[in-house]
């Protein structure tokens, strides 16, 4: 565990440093710029554009990793993730309704809370209707149906609303970290730290849940309460991420599988591991998205899939061979 | 504590509403059209489908000949003449029903099947060149005048335009970037060589940073690259600025805030149909642009 953790942390620090050095413009001496030296424009590019974006990528990646681990734990279903459970599309749908009613704007706390409620209601209702087979295929199929319906509505709303806050269909279907600023990077980092810490401390209850609802009840843990609290955590994470950076896909699905193959199945380790793996994956994907085709950029969700998929396949294959 | 800090920052984020914004907008009403005296008789029935060609025909004093116009010619004087295009596509049925003698088209007029249908009916379809700079606009006026058998009037109009176009240049060659915005995003379309705006910027004594560094007429650019180009002034279309939520929305986009133009709020917007029209309104637009740039740089 300790060895894996230190490898993962080293990977994160290394990716962090490479990310700071790559981008649309070449910055000569990043270390000097960080210490307040160098050219003024280069310094503002680094501290006001690139650094906030790198930090946002780490925080969002960690947040989505935790959300994915929670989703799979409460359903005991390896295909569960906020995208399939309707959390993401519910959050986006409620956010767009709020924007079209002129209630608030992108990046605001109010919008994040409204998106959280949207994700909570959608996934809560899904859980209620499929409560008898949360670990089965019914959850996945009905979840995909609900998500597809809401995504369709989100697409239509995003196309017809003229308000600049409505962004475009691409924002709500593929997401982007290009709108990261010092402020929203700080907010998402703080939110991820608080919720991640809470998730980590609460993870023991998820271990009981993994034994089955009946056994968990015998051990004095209420499955309904554990699911409710975990769902609340997941929806809050997804609400904040989606309302600020759009729907970034694949990270939440792939990360827990990769983390499980490295850190094992105990939920404390899994949540910590998912946060780290998610952070590294999204940071690599985002760095690629803004430097492969510089000075333009590629949609982030295309790269999360492209980079995450081989790791996901490798992790599941390794698990299969072990069992 | 952390939560309180987060809340504080979020609210700061919400409450940043920049004041004393200094956007200079040049609308249709701010420019004058150079126009010859109007001929009262109709010699032929003309449909102007080439971008901005109806405006030129009007400036030649031949408005009475117009029975249909293109969507880009938006002058109030032309409002009564029906638009016979749907977007940039022409509708053959509508055109044939108007029984024209002459139809003016350009490279972007389509679809080809509709044009072929007009030619089959022996309607005189004349292609005129597009204009992406002031010099081109003279050639276009000549071509339109020739098609209407009014060569002399064409020369007169060009002469009149040339007298106005010699606007006073702004000193200090400020760096200007022409951004084509459609909705908030941190990836921008910046005008490069041949965007049209490049010749306007040079005409008023500015340096077009897009034309200097880019290859294509329009190029995508990330926030970092825009910050690096660091323009002193931004040139936008009026609806482009509206699409990002006005100056407040614009200054929130990463990359804009870091430029001198963003920090000092030096933004010039021009009516969407006017900026790249390159017709009889362009000379007046150039003097207005020079005045706007001069006052932004003070």
pLDDT tens column, B182-192: 776 667 789 99
User: Mind telling me how many Å the CA of B239 is from chain A's nearest CA?
Assistant: 11
pLDDT tens column, A199-243: 999 999 999 989 988 899 999 999 889 999 999 999 999 999 999
CA distance B236 to B56: 24
User: Mind telling me how many Å the CA of B11 is from chain A's nearest CA?
Assistant: 8
Strand B175-180 versus strand B207-208 pairing type: parallel
Helix then strand count (H, E) for chain A reads 14, 0
User: Residue B167's pLDDT is what?
Assistant: 63
For residue A74, pLDDT beyond 80: yes
Calculate the CA B9 to chain-centre distance: 40
Name the percent of chain B lying above pLDDT 70: 90
Token pair listed for A105: 């704007």
pLDDT tens column, B63-117: 999 999 988 787 888 889 988 877 667 888 888 888 999 999 998 887 888 888 8
For residue A159, pLDDT beyond 90: no
CA distance A7 to A5: 5
Residue A308 CB neighbours (<10 A): 24
Measure the CA dihedral A220/A225/A230/A231, to 10°.
Answer: 150
Calculate the CA B69 to chain-centre distance: 17
Calculate the CA B184 to chain-centre distance: 21
List, in order, residues 6 or more apart from A300 with CB less than 8 Å away.
A174, A175, A176, A177, A248, A282, A285, A286, A289
Measure the CA dihedral B179/B135/B211/A179, to 10°.
Answer: 10
Mean pLDDT, rounded, for A42-67: 94
b/e burial code for range A87-110 (CB count within 10 A of at least 16 → b): bbbbbbbbbbbbbbeeebbbbbbe
Query: What stretches of B147-262 adopt beta strand conformation (E)?
Result: 175-180, 187-191, 207-208, 218-222, 233-237
pLDDT tens column, B197-248: 999 999 999 999 999 988 888 888 888 888 989 999 999 999 889 888 889 8
User: Residue B186's pLDDT is what?
Assistant: 67
Q: Does B210 touch chain A (CB under 8 A)?
A: no
List, in order, residues 6 or more apart from A12 with CB less than 8 Å away.
A58, A276, A279, A280, A283
User: Residue B238's pLDDT is what?
Assistant: 92
User: Residue B175's pLDDT is what?
Assistant: 96
For residue B277, pLDDT beyond 60: yes
> Global pTM?
0.80
Q: Does B8 touch chain A (CB under 8 A)?
A: no
CB contact under 8 A, A168 and B185: yes
CA distance A71 to B165: 66
For residue B180, pLDDT beyond 70: yes
Rg, Å, chain A Cα set:
19
User: Residue B215's pLDDT is what?
Assistant: 86
C-alpha distances in angstroms, A3 versus A6, A7, B241?
5, 6, 53
User: Residue A73's pLDDT is what?
Assistant: 93
The DSSP result for B10-25, as a single string, is HHHHHH----S--EEE
The pLDDT confidence band at residue B20, using thresholds 50, 70 and 90, is very low
* Phi, psi angles (nearest 5°) of residue B79: -55, -35
For residue B10, pLDDT beyond 50: no
The pLDDT confidence band at residue B162, using thresholds 50, 70 and 90, is confident
CA distance A248 to A254: 12
For residue B265, pLDDT beyond 70: yes
Residues of A in contact with B7 (CB under 8 A): 109
Q: Is the peptide bond before B111 cis (omega within 30 degrees of 0)?
A: yes
Residues paired with residue B177 on neighbouring β-strands, in sequence order:
B234
User: Residue A165's pLDDT is what?
Assistant: 73
CA distance B138 to B151: 12
The pLDDT confidence band at residue B11, using thresholds 50, 70 and 90, is very low
User: Residue A64's pLDDT is what?
Assistant: 97
Q: Mean pLDDT in chain A?
A: 90
Mean pLDDT, rounded, for B46-58: 92
Q: Best of A26, A106, A164, A182 to disrupt the B interface by mutation (most B CBs within 10 Å)?
A: A164
Name the percent of chain B lying above pLDDT 90: 43
User: Residue A171's pLDDT is what?
Assistant: 84
Residue B43 near residue B65, CB atoms below 8 Å:
yes
Q: Which residues of A touch B (CB under 8 A)?
A: 23-25, 41-42, 44-45, 48-50, 52-53, 105-109, 163-165, 167-168, 176, 178-181, 183-184, 186-187, 190-191, 193-194, 290, 294-297
Q: Does B137 touch chain A (CB under 8 A)?
A: no
Residues of A in contact with B216 (CB under 8 A): none
User: Residue B184's pLDDT is what?
Assistant: 66
For residue B21, pLDDT beyond 50: no
Residue B140 near residue B129, CB atoms below 8 Å:
yes
Rg, Å, chain B Cα set:
22
Question: Which residue shows structure tokens 């709303």?
Answer: A157
Residue B56 CB neighbours (<10 A): 28
Orientation of helix A182-210 relative to helix B2-15, angle to 10°: 140
Lowest mean pLDDT among A13-17, A125-129, A186-190, A284-288: A125-129
CA angle A163, A289, B239 (to 5 degrees): 25
Helix (H) or strand (E) holding B66: strand B66-68
Q: Does B2 touch chain A (CB under 8 A)?
A: yes
Nearest to A112 by CA among A195, A168, A174, A191: A191
Residue B170 near residue B297, CB atoms below 8 Å:
yes
Mean pLDDT, rounded, for B149-170: 87
C-alpha distances in angstroms, A106 versus A111, B37, B252?
7, 53, 11
Q: CA-nearest residue of chain A to B185?
A: A179
CA distance A121 to B274: 49
User: Mind telling me how many Å the CA of A293 is from chain B's nearest CA?
Assistant: 10
Say whether the ipTM exceeds 0.85.
Answer: no
User: Residue B13's pLDDT is what?
Assistant: 39
Q: Mean pLDDT in chain B?
A: 85
């Amino acid at each position: 565990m300790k060895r894996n953790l230190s490898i993962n942390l080293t990977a994160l620090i290394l990716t962090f440093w490479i990310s700071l050095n790559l981008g649309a413009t070449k910055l000569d001496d990043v270390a000097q710029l960080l210490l307040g030296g160098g050219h003024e424009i280069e310094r503002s590019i680094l501290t006001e554009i690139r650094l906030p974006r790198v930090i946002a990528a780490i925080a969002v990646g960690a947040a989505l990793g935790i959300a994915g681990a929670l989703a799979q734990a409460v359903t005991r279903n390896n295909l569960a993730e906020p995208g399939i459970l309707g959390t993401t599309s519910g959050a986006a749908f409620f956010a767009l309704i709020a924007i079209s009613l002129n209630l608030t704007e992108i990046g605001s706390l109010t919008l994040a809370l409204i998106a959280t409620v949207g994700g909570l209601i959608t996934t809560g209702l899904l859980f209620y209707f499929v409560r008898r087979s949360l670990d089965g295929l019914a959850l996945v199929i009905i979840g995909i149906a609900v998500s597809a319906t809401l995504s369709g509505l989100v697409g239509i709303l995003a196309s017809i609303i003229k308000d600049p806050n409505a962004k475009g269909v691409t924002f709500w279907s593929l997401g982007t970290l290009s709108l990261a600023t010092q402020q929203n990077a700080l907010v998402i980092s703080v939110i991820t730290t608080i919720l991640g810490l809470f998730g980590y401390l609460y993870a023991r209850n998820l271990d009981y849940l993994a034994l089955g609802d009946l056994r968990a009840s015998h051990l004095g843990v209420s499955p309904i309460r554990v699911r409710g609290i975990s769902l609340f955590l997941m929806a809050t994470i997804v609400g904040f991420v989606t309302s600020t950076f759009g729907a970034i896909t694949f990270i939440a699905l792939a990360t827990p599988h990769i983390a499980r193959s490295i850190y094992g199945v105990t939920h404390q380790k899994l949540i910590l591991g998912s946060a780290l793996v998610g952070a590294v994956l999204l940071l690599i994907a985002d760095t690629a998205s803004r430097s492969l085709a510089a000075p333009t950029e590629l949609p982030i969700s295309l790269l999360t899939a492209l980079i995450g998929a081989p790791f996901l396949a490798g992790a599941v294959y390794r698990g299969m061979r072990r069992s | 504590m952390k939560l309180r800090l987060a809340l504080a920052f979020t609210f700061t984020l919400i409450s940043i509403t920049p004041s004393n914004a200094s956007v200079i907008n040049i609308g249709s009403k701010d420019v004058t059209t150079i126009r010859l005296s109007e001929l009262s008789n109709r010699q032929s029935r003309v449909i102007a489908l080439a971008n901005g060609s109806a405006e030129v025909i009007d400036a030649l004093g031949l408005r009475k000949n117009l029975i249909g116009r293109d969507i880009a010619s938006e002058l109030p004087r032309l409002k009564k003449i029906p638009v016979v295009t749907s977007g940039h596509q022409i509708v053959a049925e509508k055109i044939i029903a108007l029984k024209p003698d002459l139809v003016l088209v350009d490279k972007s007029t389509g679809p080809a099947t509709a044009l072929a249908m007009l030619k089959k009916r022996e309607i005189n379809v004349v292609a005129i060149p597009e204009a992406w700079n002031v010099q081109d606009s003279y050639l276009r006026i000549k071509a339109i005048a020739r098609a209407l058998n009014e060569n002399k009037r064409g020369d007169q109009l060009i002469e009149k335009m040339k007298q106005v176009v010699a606007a006073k240049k702004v000193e200090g060659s400020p760096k200007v970037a022409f951004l084509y915005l459609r909705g908030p995003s941190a990836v921008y379309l910046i005008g490069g060589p041949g965007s049209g705006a490049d010749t306007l910027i040079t005409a008023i004594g500015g340096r077009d940073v897009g034309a200097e560094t880019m290859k294509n007429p329009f190029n995508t650019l990330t926030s970092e690259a825009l910050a690096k180009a660091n323009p002193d002034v931004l040139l936008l279309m009026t609806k482009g600025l509206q699409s990002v939520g006005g100056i407040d929305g614009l200054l929130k986009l990463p990359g804009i805030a870091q430029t001198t133009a963003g920090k000092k709020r030096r933004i010039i917007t021009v009516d969407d149909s006017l900026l790249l029209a390159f017709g009889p309104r362009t000379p007046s637009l150039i003097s207005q642009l020079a005045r706007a740039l001069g006052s932004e740089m003070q």
